[in-house]
Structure 1
Amino acid sequence: MSDIKIKDIRELSDEQLKTQLIDLKENLLQLRAKKANVRSGEIHRVRKNIARVLTVINLKARSEVLANTSNPRRLPKDIRPKLTRALRRKLSASDANRRTLKAQKKSAAFPHRKYALKA
């Protein structure tokens, strides 16, 4: 059995992907049963093909969840963009610009002075 091209796997429907996965797993089971006279790379190839099919299945499922979710804050954590720890904890723009009541009153009572120079 040769390697399956990922381009060909992406064109398959969900049902076809599931049947392909079942066939590959059965093939792997048979190869493991007659392990003594199997060519050395055949088990490796089948396992990699299973991984390719599972990758496409997972990518399709993630893209469906992403398309059906309107609020980005409600996305599952594994679909959210990967950020550094510092960026995940960073304040939002509205939170960073919030001021206490006392600071609001002070800035209203004493606005920032603007100076113009005579030329």
Structure 2
Amino acid sequence: MARVKVHELRQKSKADLLSQLKDLKAELALLRVAKELRKQYDPSSFSWGDFDTVSGSGSALLSKEIGSSIQEKVVRLSIAQVLTVISQKQKAALREVYKNKKYLPLDLRPKKTRAIRRRLTKHQISLKTEREKKKEMYYPMRKYAIKV
């Protein structure tokens, strides 16, 4: 199976993505079964009769093993990509739902750092007590100009 292209996955619907995920998982299971069957087959116990020494049989088996492990890696990567696209689409849909709401779920809020999250908001910083307001009103900033 060829590698999946993520930009193509993003255009698919959720049902298509789930069906593709199911296919990829089935393919991975088949590859794992084939790998186990190859492990059980021991070329040293096999006899060719007159042709006891067959050149390249070990290397052919090794190349098959390497090829299957690469295939397995590609399928695992494809599964990860499909799962990533599914979760990203879910998160984007949730962001749309909570776009203009007062409260956001914790996983949709910006992560930042713990200290930044605990800071006062800009609105809270700008708030003033009645006493501060009166003080500013009665004693405004003095403006001076120098005559030349």
Coarse TM-score class (shorter-chain normalised): 0.7 to 0.9
Counterpart code for 1:59: Q
Counterpart code for 1:56: V
Please, which of 71, 74, 85 is the counterpart of residue 45 of structure 1?
74
In the TM superposition, what are the counterparts of 1:1-119 in structure 2 within 5 Å? 1-36=1-36, 37=38, 39-71=68-100, 74-119=103-148
| Identity percentage of aligned residues | 39
Q: Which has the higher contact order (CA 8 A, sep 6+)?
A: 2
SS at 1:17's partner residue? helix
Tell which structure's C-alpha radius of gyration is larger.
Answer: 2
Q: Which runs of 4+ in 1 moved over 6 A?
A: none
- Deviations 1:29-48 (Å, cap 9, x if unpaired)? 22222323362222211111
Hey, what's the Cα distance between the residues in 2 that align with 1:55 and 1:73? 28
Hey, what's the Cα distance between the residues in 2 that align with 1:13 and 1:107? 60
Hey, what's the Cα distance between the residues in 2 that align with 1:94 and 1:5? 45
TM-score (norm 2): 0.69
TM-score (norm 1): 0.83
5+ residue gaps, structure 2: 39-64
| Aligned Cα root-mean-square deviation (Å) | 2.0
Q: How big is the shift at 1:89? A: 2.0
Matched residue pairs, number? 119
Counterpart code for 1:5: K
Distance 1:73 1:90, change over 3 A: farther
Counterpart code for 2:112: L
